[in-house]
Chains A and B, each alone.
Chain A
Amino acid sequence: MEIPILSQSTVFNLYENVENNINQYSDGFDETFFNDNYNHSLKNTDMPTNLEEMLIYDENLKEGNLDAKNSFIVYNALKGLTPYQARDGRVWTALSHKFFLKYTAQRHGGKNNKLTKEKIEQHFFTFVDGKRGFDRHNVCARLWLNGHAVNKCSNGENFEELLNILCEKADFRANIIERPGIFQIPNVLLAVLLTVKSEKHKGVEFKRELYRPWLKYIDRAGGQKIYAMMEKDELIELYNDYLTTIKAQI
């Protein structure tokens, strides 16, 4: 099937009626809802009709690992979706309401898997917190964006492994995806992920106290370097030097 898109007025209606529809978010929307509202789709796209079943719901996985696995699935499933289309909230609202009810409850519903009005507004739409509505909150958009960012830079490296490094710690991911700045430069993101990978292989635990000042250092040094013009290997060497400096300070 082609990737669905809702009309803007349907999105507004849904957003305004979250409280009235709150049971549907746990029990599911009926056929009439889909027949009435899912009448448009994005041309030249393709996606599996059973995306909901393809998602992983393993409760034993940590949230970050669950995100990584589902980012892989969602990014590969939404074929032909362009980055331009991916900034259209109507697409994500359509996908979230059709395929992500169960997943949202599990991933964002807390211990009871319960979706409150606020949670629904955050995770089924893209309105909350400006750009973070896409980058952080929408249950589906955030997964796709992880895949998109890593795919753009992976350049022959193991896509799934890099995705896992990006997603493993929510705060690490947030520092990169939600405040892209220099990290939108493919070689920069790749160099960061490969440096973390190499540290992990050495047995170094990449804690918040380490990666926060390190990422900040990289960002600040970016004001005096033209990262966009630098090669991957140069950046890896540079970021390793920065990491050594940070390690010596903490």
Chain B
Amino acid sequence: MQYNPNKSYGYPVQRQSLSEFDKENADYKDTSFDPSFNESKSFDNKDEMQIEIQMFGLIQEIKDAIGKAQANISVIVQCRDTFFSQKQTIEHKDATTNLYQDIMYINANNLYGEVTIRAVVLATKDFILKSEKINAEFGYKEFKVTKDMLLAESPTYISYVHKEPENSPQSIVSLHTTPKFKDGEYDISLENDYIQINISEKLNAKMAPLKNTKEGRELSFNVIFVPAITYALTQLEAHPEYLEYKWAQSLTNALNDLKKTIDVRDEPHNQAQALFRNTILNVLQGEI
């Protein structure tokens, strides 16, 4: 077993084990505590984030302890940017059910950017936990659990909360006129929450009227926004640290949502086209 003095508890705690190596070395051998968190956000009517929680992979002995009210499963949601932390204990009225599920509702106005979600199982009273799956390196197959001991913890799931409409990726782009460029020259800055495209005054004068018609908007998507988003996604792939910024989180959200309904190729230029609903076809096939 790998020992991390700041994370290890000195007794068996069930966690996620993805690889065969992890399973072999887990505190509870050949097991993986792997809950599923499906989140959806609705900003249309009520600013709400819903998290559907399903508990997969808990060993039977911990499930039994939960069924006997010796332990509880709780979900902890936290957001660094808004100083937010909320916990919810999952109801488990039916002790015979193998699958624990619940829904957590959070006011999305209290969240911004990266939101972390994780599940923990904590003892609520003292009892003996016996399991044949306890890794032999502990040297025992049962141990005394005392109140508040952590029995299982999930990996941390990360979600991003932004209210920009996900079907208009241009809302995360800001055009900015600068005298340092001439004609069709421009550059793209990714070092802020918004993708900043710096363009010449001449280009700005040509671009400005385009937003007044549908044809013009499609044209502007193709000539400036799709290339900019392609560039941004390429940079994001190479430098994941950009995920700190709102544009990267918003585009990641939008792509993840899109992938739930259609196939999206992995190349940034195809992802950018998909985000703009294949605007290239709209222009070339005269569909507008």
Residues of A within 8 A of B (CB): 8-9, 12-13, 16, 82-87, 89, 127, 130-131, 134, 145, 148-149, 152, 180-181, 184-186, 220, 223-224, 226, 228-230
Contact = CB atoms under 8 A, between A and B. Distances in A.
A87 B74 contact: no
B12 interface: no
Contacts of B112: 83-84, 86-87
29 contacts: A9-B175, A12-B174, A12-B196, A16-B178, A82-B109, A82-B110, A83-B109, A83-B111, A84-B108, A84-B109, A86-B82, A86-B112, A87-B113, A127-B191, A127-B192, A131-B80, A152-B83, A184-B79, A184-B83, A186-B85, A220-B6, A226-B150, A226-B153, A228-B76, A228-B85, A228-B87, A229-B74, A229-B120, A229-B148
Nearest to B81: A87
Interface in B72-123: 74, 76, 78-85, 87, 108-113, 120, 122
B141 interface: no
Contacts of B175: 9
Interface residues of B, number: 39
B62 interface: no
Given A83-B83, A180-B83, A184-B84, A228 B78 contact: yes
Contacts, number: 86
Nearest to A183: B83
Q: Which 6 A-B pairs have the closest CB atoms?
A: A83-B82, A82-B109, A223-B6, A87-B112, A8-B174, A185-B85
A152 B47 CA distance: 19
Contacts of B191: 127
A150 to B, nearest CB: 10
B85 A184 contact: yes
Q: From DSSP, what is the main secondary structure of chain A's interface residues?
A: helix
Interface string B120-148: 10100000000000000000000000001
A188 B78 CA distance: 13
Contacts of B7: 223-224
Nearest to B150: A226
Interface in B156-194: 161, 163, 174-176, 178, 191-194
Contact of B83 (A8, A127, A149, A230): A149
B244 A131 contact: yes
Contacts of A220: 6
Contacts of A134: 81
A181 B78 CA distance: 9
B56 interface: no
B6 A224 contact: yes
Nearest to A7: B174
B163 A84 contact: yes
Interface in B42-90: 47, 74, 76, 78-85, 87
B45 to A, nearest CB: 15
Nearest to B10: A224
